[in-house]
Structure 1
Amino acid sequence: MSDPIDEAPAQPTAFELVGGEARVRELVDRFYDLMDLEPDFAGIHALHPPTLEGSRDKFFWFLCGWLGGPDHYISRFGHPRLRARHLPFTIASGERDQWLRCMAWAMEDVGLSEALRERLLHSFFDTADWMVNQRSLVKKMNSTSDFSHCLFSRFRRLSHSV
């Protein structure tokens, strides 16, 4: 029997904090709706197939596991190998930043708390920055907090103008 003093209370996963599969699906759908509708996201939209349905499903399956929920993507396709899967596409800071702005907007639209959005945005930044494969075209931020401040400032201006 284990000593109760040694057992830390389980912290909820990001998947649980987001609200589970239904909420992740809502987030993914809003993300792709924005990508499809907003001219500001044309650069990242151009990296996708003409129809976004397959992308929606794959991102939903991936995001569930990435957030600490069920590993739907891995059970279907194996290890995500994110960087390898994105190497065929030209991804520089512009595409990275469009992706992050689109996700920030989607997170706000589906009602995630500001604290959760900030937490996730830092993780999304690290992953999105890792996808960049055109480093000579990248304007590197000093830190993710600098980027986060800059992104949220630009995002707030953009969302208030729409």
Structure 2
Amino acid sequence: MTEANVSMFERIGGEHTIDRLVESFYHRMDTLVEARGIRDMHDPDLEPVKRVLKRYLTEWLGGPDLYSSERGHPRLRQRHMGFPIGDAARDAWMLCMDGALAETVADEGACQNIRESMKKLADWMRNRQDAEEG
């Protein structure tokens, strides 16, 4: 099978890597001072949101349709509209994701591709000007 025929999900190591990525991401959100603002947007128990993100990333990266079969179309921007997401929140989210990707995705090319896509997604999710952030 050529690289072109392999999903990004398979290329990075499948479910095991997604699990590690999400755990690393939320560990950073829990521990980095820079992430306090986005951590405060979440419930104290992160387990439900971890499950959702694992299912979303699995599908988004070309794995099984775990997210949409359970929750329908992602509608990410709509689902996050109630949270104040400006430049600071975007940057904190990317700080956590960059660290998690660097820790868990060994394939540098895949890591860079995912990072670039995540940056675009995080930027698109902004719904506030920083002066309006809480």
SS in 1 for 2:5: coil
1:73-106 Cα shifts (integer Å, max 9, x gaps): 1111111110100000000011111111111101
Q: Which has the higher contact order (CA 8 A, sep 6+)?
A: 2
Residue 111 of structure 1: how far off its partner (Å) = 4.3
Taking structure 2 as the reference length, the TM-score comes to: 0.89
Q: Distance in 2 between matches of 1:112 and 1:15?
A: 13
Structure 2: unaligned runs, 5 residues or longer: none
Indicate conservation of the 8 Å contact 2:21/2:100, yes or no.
Answer: yes
- TM score, norm. by length of structure 1: 0.75
**CA 1:124–1:31: 2 relative to 1, 3 Å:** same
Identity %: 38
Structure 2 residue 58 is the aligned partner of structure 1 residue 64 = yes
Q: Which runs of 4+ in 1 moved over 3 A?
A: none
Instruction: Supply the RMSD in Å over aligned alpha carbons.
Output: 1.8
SS at match of 1:30: helix
Counterpart position of 1:137: 130
What are the residue-to-residue correspondences of 1:113-124 with 2, within 5 Å?
113-124=107-118
Q: Is residue 29–residue 36 contact of structure 2 (8 Å, CA) maintained in 1?
A: yes
Q: 2:76 aligns with which of 67, 78, 82?
A: 82
After the TM superposition, which of the residue ranges 46-55 and 114-123 deviates more from structure 2? 114-123
CA distance in 2, matches of 1:70, 1:111: 19
Structure 2 counterpart of 1:61, which letter? R
Farther off after superposition, 96-105 or 9-18 = 9-18
Q: 1:74 to 1:40 in 2, by over 3 A?
A: same
32, 53, 56: which one aligns with 2:47: 53
Amino acid at match of 2:127: N
Q: Which residue of structure 2 lines up, in the alignment, with residue 156 of structure 1?
A: none
Task: Tell me which residue corresponds to 1:91.
Answer: 85
- Give a deviation string over 1:136-158, Cα, whole Å, max 9, x none: 339xxxxxxxxxxxxxxxxxxxx
1:112: which partner in 2?
A: 106
Letter in 2 for 1:130: W
What is the number of residues matched between the two proteins?
130
Query: Structure 1 residue 34 and structure 2 residue 5: aligned?
Result: no
| Unmatched tracts of structure 1, length 5 or more | 1-7, 139-162
